[in-house]
Every structure is written in C-alpha cells, then in structure tokens.
Structure 1
Amino acid sequence: MGLVGILVALGLLIWLSFRGWSVLLLAPAAAIVAAAFAEEPLLAHWTQTFMGGAAQFIAQFFPIFLLGALFGKLMDDSGSVHAIAHFMSTKLGARRAILAVVLAGAIVTYGGVSLFVAFFVLAPMAREMFRVANIAHRLMPATIALGTSTFTMSALPGTPAIQNTIPMPFFGTTPFAAPGLGIVAAAIMLAFGLWWLSRAEESARKTGEGYGGDEGLVSGAVADDQFIRERATSSHEFDPAEIARGKRGDVPPPIGTAVVPLLVVVGVNLLMSLLILPRLDFSFLAQERWGETSLAGVAGVWSVAVALAAATATLIALNRPRLTDLRASMDAGANASVLPIFSVASLVGFGAVVAALPGFALVRDWMLSISGGPLVSLAIATNILAALTGSASGGLTIALDALGDTYLQIAQTAHIDPGLMHRVAVIGSGTLDSLPHNGAVVTLLAVCGSTHRKSYFDMVMANIVGPIIALAIVIALGSVLGSF
C-alpha cells in the first residue's frame, strides 16, 4: 500500500496543480495522503518530516532566491535588460531575428537576470522583429525559451541559475562543475535549437505562413493572472506579479553600462569559486554552532550569493539616476522571491515525506538498478521527478534529497568526479521539466499571446529534444573520458 499511496499522492499533486490549485496547499496535503496509505504518523510527518525538508531548503537557498530576484528586478527597472535586447536587435537586424532573440535571452539569463523578467522584456522585442521579418508568430515562444531556459539554465559553467546551485551542497561542487562538458552541452543545445527554428522558419515561408500574430495577450494581465502565477512560482525563482511593481526608468542606459553588472556576476562568481574561498581557512565550520559542515557544503552558495550581491551594488551605483524609486524597486524584487521559494520548498517537503516512507525503498532500488551506470540512473531520476513536478528546481531537489548521498557514495566508489554528477543532474532536470504543465511554459505562451496548440511542438524540439541529445552526449563523454 505504501507504493500505491506514493503514486496516488503524486497523481493528486500533478492533477490539482495543473488545474490551478496552490502548491502551498497541495504539497502538504499530498504528503499526508502518502503517509496515510503507508499507515505512518500523519502529524509527525507534517510538522517534522515535511517542514524539516522545506525549512532546510529555505535555509540553504533563500539567499540565492532573494538576491537573484532583486538583481533581476533592478536590471529591469533600470532599463538594462531592454538596452541589451535593443542592442542585439539593432546589430543583428530583422533578417536574423531568431538569432538576435536567442542571444539576447542567453546574455541576460547567464548574467543572472530572472527567467520571468527576461520573458516580459524579450517578448515585445521578438514581436516587433518577427513582424518586420514576417516570421511565423508561433515560433516566438520556442525562440525565447531556447535563449533563456536551456543552455544558460543547466549547461553553461558558472550560471547563477538556481538549478545549477542546488547540487552544490550535495556533491561539494562549485557553479563551474565539469566546465568542458557543460560547454559541449551548451553548444549542442544552441546548435540544435537554432537548426530546428531555422528549418521551421523556412518551412513556414514555403507554405506562405506569415507573422499572423495576436497582440492582445501581453503584459500586466498576464503577470497578474492567478493561474499563471501559481504555475510560474512553483517552477522558477521570480513571482510574475511583481513585474509591474516598482518604477522603470524612462531612458535605458548605454549598452556598456547595461552589460557591466552581468560581467560582475560571472567574474565574481569565478573568483569566489576558484580563487578566494579555497585559499581561506574555514575549519571553524565543523563546529556545532555552524552546523558541523564544511567549505564544500557552502562554498557554491556563498560564491553565487556574493556574485549577485556585488552585481546588484554595481548596478545601483551605475544606474542610480535611472532607478527613480529605488526603494519600491528593491521591495518588489525582494517580494518576488518569497512565493517562489516557499512553493519550491513545499515540493521539497513533499519529497522528504515520500523519501521517508517504507515504500520508497522500492523506488530507490529501481532507480539504482537501472542499467547504464550511476550517470544514466541519476539522469533518469532527475528527468522523472522534474517532469512529475513540472519544476526543474523542485524535481532536482527532491531527487538529491532522497538519493544524493547514495549517488555521492557510488561516485566515490566508482571514482566518478562529483562535478560530472553535478552537471548530469542539472542538465537532466532541465529536459522533461518543460512539459505542458510547467509554469515557465504556461507563462511564456501567455506572454507571447500564443497557445499550446500553436507553439508547443516547436518548444518541445528546442527545450526538450535538444537538451536530451546534449545530456546523452555528456553521459557518453563522461563515461569514457571522465569529467573535464
């Protein structure tokens, strides 16, 4: 009955979540259902297991959620994201509209700007460029998703995306884990996505399909839509409702000024991860008052947090006249982090209860027995859980909470670099998370004024097929050559 309870609880969580119910209510309710089927103590699992797992996730990652949302909001309100998007559209022109949108999205998200902030800025840019170039409007969501939700989220070394941060405490790695393999994966995702979109564009032109876009579904109404908000905040780190809060500057900064904070994120992250923290003495972390941890357990989060904080300070210093209501913008950025982290933490709490039930031993044994070795097993585990939850970050955390220690022991026994496990886990979480119920998918389609029927197939090719190919090649290379 324990395994049946887990499946029933998962089914309820997915079905009701897709129908718009808040995951803050669904996750503890589903956890109690699973515990009830297993005849386990209900209140104990709620207050001890569920809340313990959720609280641990918040304690580990709230600095990243807070600083990431704050940085993204200030980049938006200062006009920096708009300046970068405008620069790319001007330099590449309408004839290379797809490439311009992809590169603009990649630059801002790799530099630390929240996915949803990028959506709301890139959609108007893409709409105008696609109209001028007469490119089929239905390709807009896949184009934006390729630049913002694939290689910059899971593959490029050093990305400050929360998905790249989550494995670090489990494997003792840095944001730059397996950098060579990450670059290979990023190149595959980008090349495959651009090839597919170019092919789709050419095919549409041959059949006489022009732009044909609907302009009526963009902006504030989308951000305030309750269904979209619930889906979005359980899958990524920014509450769309805060997009319209604060106050945007009237004149965007020069492109050089706009790019500097992004360079600070990458540069400081690299320095903290590889040069500064490894040279300092943090032996005191082994004491009980500091949680009896080690530098390996916190260095990754510290590096990203310091990088985002330094970039935020740089951004304010360079753009203070453009941030006409700094307090309101900062309040909106801080508020934008709260609902997402509690939503993801609730999913993590649900996973903690499931992992604590006797029936989960069958699931664990099945996952670990998958042929192909631990890299294949880890990739499948993160794929499945990200697909079920509709959240790369939620699925990844649930998988690593339940199996992270086991996979680390396997890696040590088999002499597999933990950095390789890190990169496989992150890329694996960013494939099947893009199923129709994913919050980013729902939000992006609404922002672009499109539907699943019109645009989702191309999103599957750019967001799922390309990353799966990259994941398979990374596993093959890692199995033969090891981490590099």
Structure 2
Amino acid sequence: MGLLGILVALGLLIWLAYRGWSVLLLAPAAAILAAGLAGEPLLAHWTQTFMGSAARFIMQFFPIFLLGALFGKLMEDSGSVSSIADFMTERLGARRAVLAVVLAGALVTYGGVSLFVAFFVLAPMAHELFRAAGIPKRLMPAAIALGTSTFTMSALPGTPAIQNAIPMPFFGTTPFAAPGLGVIASLIMAGFGLWWLARAEAKARSKGEGYGATADLAMDAVEDEIVRERATTASAFDPAEIRRGHPGAVAPSIALAVLPLVIVVGVNLLMSLFILPRLNASYLADEAWGSTSLSAVGGVWSVVAALAAAVVVLVAINFRRLPALRATMDAGANASALPVLSVASLVGFGSVVAALPAFAMVRDWVLGIEGGPLVSLAVATNVLASLTGSASGGLTIALDALGASYMRLAAEQGVNPALLHRIAVIGAGTLDSLPHNGAVVTLLAVCGSTHRESYLDIVMVSIVGGLLGLAAVIGLGTLFGSF
C-alpha cells in the first residue's frame, strides 16, 4: 500500500500541477496523502519532515535565488541584455540567425542572467532575424532553448545556474566540478543542437517553407497564471515580475553590458579555486554555525559572492540608466520568492516520500541499476526531473534521498565526487524538458508557437543533445575518472 500511495500522490501532483494548480498547495497535500496511505503520522510529516526539508533548501539556496533574480532584473532594466542581443544581431546578421540567437542566449545565461529574462529579450531578436533570413519561425523556440537552457545550465563549468549549485552541499564540490568533462559535454550539446537546427533549416528551405505567417509574440504570457505556476518550478525568476520596474531609455555599450557577466565568471573562479581553499574556516564546525564545513558551503559562497559583486558593478556603471533603481531592485527581489518556495515545496514532498518505509524498495532498485553509481545517478536525476518537470526540484529530491548513498558508493569505488556532481546536473537537465516543463510552456507562449509546431525540435536540442552529452561524460568518467 505504501508504494501505491507514493505513486498515487506523485500522479496527482504531476496532473494538477500541469493544470496550473499551485505547487505550494499541491506538494504538502500530496505528501500528506502519501503518508496517510502508508499509515504514517500526518501532521508530524507535514511540520517536521516536509517543512524541515523545505526550510533547509531555502536556507542553503535562497541567497542564490535572490541575487540571481536581482541580477537578471538589473541586467534587463539597464538595457545590458538588449545591448548584447543587438551586438550579436549586428555582427552575425541574418545569414547566421540561428547562431546569433544561440550565442546571445549562451552568453547572458552563462553570465548569470535568469532564463526567463533571456526569453523575453531573445524572442523579439529571433523574430527579426528569422524573418529577415526566411527561416521558419517554428525553429525559434528550439534556438532559444539551445542557447539558454542546455549546456550553459548544466554542463559548462562555473555556470551560476541554481542546478549547478544544488549538488555542492551534498558532494562538497565547487561550481567548476569536472571542468574538462563539462566542456566536452557542452561541445557535444551545442554542436549537436546547431547541427540539428541547420539540418532543419536546410530541409525547410528545400521545401520552400520560409518564415511563414508573421509570428504573434505573446509577450503578455507573464499574465497567464497557468504559465506562471508552471514556470516558477522551472527557474529562479517569477515571470510576473518581468513587466515591473522601469527600463532605461539608453542601452550601455557592449563592453559595459558584458562587464557584469565577466565579473560573475571571474569572481566565481577566484572564490572557488584560489580564495576559499586558502581560508581558515574551522569555526564552521561549531554548533553556532550549524556544525558544517567549508566543503559543504564553499560552493554556494562562491556563487553568492560572484553574483553580489556583479550586482554592485552593474549598479555602479549603469546608475544613470536605471531611472527607478528601487523599483527595479524590488521587482528582482520579489521575482525570487515564489520560485524558491515552489522548488522548496517539491523538495519537501520528496523528503516525505523518501522517509516512507516503501521508499526503501525504490532506493534499492535505483542503486542496483546495472552500470554502477554513475549510471544509476543519471537515471535517478532524469526520472525525478521528468516527473516534476523541474531540473532543480528533481535534482534536490534525488540528492536528498540518495546523496549520502552515492557518496558512500563513491568512497568504496574510488569515484571522485566532482564526477557525481557533473553527472547529476546534466542528468537533471535532460528529461526535465518534457511537455509539462514550465520553461518549455513559457518559451512556446512567448514565441507565439505551439507544442505541435516546435516541440520536436526542442526535444532534439534539449533532450537528445543532453543525453548524448550525458552518455559521453559517463563513458569518459568511467574510463578516466574526473578531469
């Protein structure tokens, strides 16, 4: 009955979330249902297990959600993201429209700009470029997805994406875990995605398809409550805050626009590889600081310091371009609240499921998958991310339930935790892009497209490309270890 209860609760959670119900309500209700069907104490699981796990997630990662959303909003209202998009348009032009969109998306998201901020800037850019080049508008969502939510989210070492931060407390790693493998996976994912889009473009031209009817960019998609509810479990930015704040009238030069992105990457690298390793943080073992260690918090500290430094620089160089700085910063801060609570609620649901006696069967099955811990970890993160429609939610649930087991297996088999980190992140960023994923739904809405028109290409660049990169990392990691 316990296993059936888990499946029923999970099924209801997925179905009602897809229909636009708030995860803040669904997650505790589904957790209580699973606990009740297992004959476990209901209130204890809600207030102790569920809330305890959700609170720990917020404690660990809210600073990244907060600063990431703030940074993204400041980049948008200062005109920096638009300046980068315009620069790519001018330099690459309509002849390389797909490449321009992909590179612009990759640059801003690797530099720390939120996924949804990038969507709302890149969609008009893609519209103009694709129309001028005669490329079918149905390929716009896939091109944007390739640049914003594939290799820069999960594979490229040092990315400040929340997905790359989540494994750090579990494995004691840094944002630059397994950098060589991350770069290889990024090249595979980007290369395959660009090849597929070039193939699709050439095939469309041979049929005389062209751009098609003028695209109706649904920039008011942020007002759709169903889109919003789905989106906030898939990113660290609440789309409803996109329209709040006051954009500046004059965009900065490309050098000033890129500078904050360079600050994010540079400070992250310095903190991870040079500053924190030399820091005496033995005091963290005291109960007053949570009886923790630098290896458990250092990765988060690196990302937080990088985003904080970038925010300061961004405000300093764009102070006159931000006509309502307080309104912009308020919108950025508010944009972090619903996403962190939504993902934390998913994590709370996962912790209740993991605490039920029947979950032992699930754990034993996952850990017993043929191929060893690398394959089983990839399967676990893929499955949970696909079920929740959230890479960050699925990844945290998997590591909350199984992280300690994988660390034990890694110690027994001599597997570097950095390799576990990279596989977990890439694994969570593949099958999360199923049709109910909030980022997919939002992107299609913003581009004025539908699943029927554009989803196949999203599958190829996001899921197939991600699985190819994941397979390469598992294969190379098995043969050569982490590098």
TM-score interval w.r.t. the shorter chain? Answer: over 0.9
Does the 8 A contact of 1:445 with 1:452 survive in 2? yes
Q: Name the CA distance, whole Å, in 2 between partners of 1:420 and 1:432.
A: 20
Deviation at 1:218, TM superposition (A): 2.0
Letter in 1 for 2:149: S
Moved more, 159-168 or 405-414: 405-414
1:3 aligned onto 2:6: no
* Counterpart residue number, 1:185: 185
Does the 8 A contact of 1:134 with 1:211 survive in 2? yes
1:364 aligned onto 2:363: yes
Letter in 1 for 2:77: D
Does the 8 A contact of 2:381 with 2:427 survive in 1? yes
Letter in 1 for 2:142: A
* Counterpart residue number, 2:12: 12
Q: Give the secondary-structure state (helix, strand or coil) at the position aligned to 1:372.
A: coil
Letter in 1 for 2:396: T
Q: Equivalences for 1:107-126 in 2 at 5 Å?
A: 107-126=107-126
Residues 72-98 of structure 1, C-alpha deviation per residue, up to 9 Å, x if partnerless?
A: 000000000000000001100101000
* Counterpart residue number, 1:90: 90
Does the 8 A contact of 1:173 with 1:422 survive in 2? yes
Deviation at 1:361, TM superposition (A): 0.2
Deviation at 1:208, TM superposition (A): 1.1
Q: Give the secondary-structure state (helix, strand or coil) at the position aligned to 1:365.
A: helix
Letter in 2 for 1:364: R
Letter in 1 for 2:448: G
Does the 8 A contact of 1:232 with 1:439 survive in 2? yes
* Counterpart residue number, 2:301: 302
Deviation at 1:213, TM superposition (A): 4.2
* Counterpart residue number, 2:63: 63
Q: Name the CA distance, whole Å, in 2 between partners of 1:395 and 1:383.
A: 8
Q: Name the CA distance, whole Å, in 2 between partners of 1:199 and 1:17.
A: 35
* Counterpart residue number, 1:453: 452
Residues 189-223 of structure 1, C-alpha deviation per residue, up to 9 Å, x if partnerless?
A: 0000000000000001111111114433421x211
Residues 131-187 of structure 1, C-alpha deviation per residue, up to 9 Å, x if partnerless?
A: 000100000000000000000000000000000000000000000000000000000
Q: Equivalences for 1:299-338 in 2 at 5 Å?
A: 299-338=298-337
Runs of 4+ in 1 over 6 A off after TM superposition: none
Q: Equivalences for 1:12-411 in 2 at 5 Å?
A: 12-219=12-219, 221-411=220-410
Deviation at 1:46, TM superposition (A): 0.5
Q: Give the secondary-structure state (helix, strand or coil) at the position aligned to 2:369.
A: coil
Does the 8 A contact of 1:214 with 1:450 survive in 2? no
Deviation at 1:319, TM superposition (A): 0.5
Residues 211-269 of structure 1, C-alpha deviation per residue, up to 9 Å, x if partnerless?
A: 114433421x2111100000000111000000000000111100000000000000000
Q: Name the CA distance, whole Å, in 2 between partners of 1:280 and 1:150.
A: 33
Structure 2: 5+ residue runs without aligned partners? Answer: none
Residues 323-361 of structure 1, C-alpha deviation per residue, up to 9 Å, x if partnerless?
A: 110000000000000000000000000000000000000
Q: Name the CA distance, whole Å, in 2 between partners of 1:46 and 1:346.
A: 11
Does the 8 A contact of 1:214 with 1:449 survive in 2? no
Distance 1:408 1:213, change over 3 A: farther
TM-score calculated relative to the size of structure 1: 0.99
Does the 8 A contact of 2:136 with 2:210 survive in 1? yes
Does the 8 A contact of 2:124 with 2:217 survive in 1? no
Q: Name the CA distance, whole Å, in 2 between partners of 1:210 and 1:244.
A: 32
Q: Name the CA distance, whole Å, in 2 between partners of 1:98 and 1:25.
A: 40
Letter in 1 for 2:287: E
Does the 8 A contact of 2:123 with 2:217 survive in 1? no
Deviation at 1:419, TM superposition (A): 0.2
Count of residues paired in the alignment = 483
Q: Name the CA distance, whole Å, in 1 between partners of 2:86 and 2:410.
A: 46
Does the 8 A contact of 2:271 with 2:302 survive in 1? yes
Q: Name the CA distance, whole Å, in 2 between partners of 1:177 and 1:384.
A: 23
Letter in 1 for 2:426: I
Q: Give the secondary-structure state (helix, strand or coil) at the position aligned to 2:211.
A: coil
Q: Name the CA distance, whole Å, in 2 between partners of 1:280 and 1:50.
A: 35
TM-score calculated relative to the size of structure 2: 1.00
Does the 8 A contact of 2:389 with 2:437 survive in 1? yes
Letter in 1 for 2:68: G
Q: Name the CA distance, whole Å, in 2 between partners of 1:215 and 1:462.
A: 21
The percent identity for this pair of structures is: 73
Q: Name the CA distance, whole Å, in 1 between partners of 2:217 and 2:144.
A: 16
Q: Name the CA distance, whole Å, in 1 between partners of 2:166 and 2:14.
A: 22
Deviation at 1:108, TM superposition (A): 0.1
Residues 33-54 of structure 1, C-alpha deviation per residue, up to 9 Å, x if partnerless?
A: 1001100000110111000010
Does the 8 A contact of 1:110 with 1:153 survive in 2? yes
Does the 8 A contact of 2:419 with 2:481 survive in 1? yes
1:465 aligned onto 2:468: no
Q: Give the secondary-structure state (helix, strand or coil) at the position aligned to 1:251.
A: coil
Q: Name the CA distance, whole Å, in 2 between partners of 1:12 and 1:218.
A: 30
Q: Give the secondary-structure state (helix, strand or coil) at the position aligned to 2:318.
A: helix
Does the 8 A contact of 2:169 with 2:297 survive in 1? yes
Letter in 1 for 2:26: L
Q: Name the CA distance, whole Å, in 2 between partners of 1:300 and 1:365.
A: 30
Letter in 2 for 1:295: L
Q: Name the CA distance, whole Å, in 1 between partners of 2:361 and 2:386.
A: 20
Does the 8 A contact of 1:223 with 1:241 survive in 2? yes
Q: Name the CA distance, whole Å, in 1 between partners of 2:279 and 2:142.
A: 44
Letter in 1 for 2:200: A
Q: Give the secondary-structure state (helix, strand or coil) at the position aligned to 1:157.
A: coil
Does the 8 A contact of 2:131 with 2:211 survive in 1? yes
Q: Name the CA distance, whole Å, in 2 between partners of 1:280 and 1:402.
A: 31
Q: Give the secondary-structure state (helix, strand or coil) at the position aligned to 2:216.
A: coil
* Counterpart residue number, 1:413: 412
* Counterpart residue number, 2:423: 424
Deviation at 1:280, TM superposition (A): 1.0
Does the 8 A contact of 2:239 with 2:335 survive in 1? yes
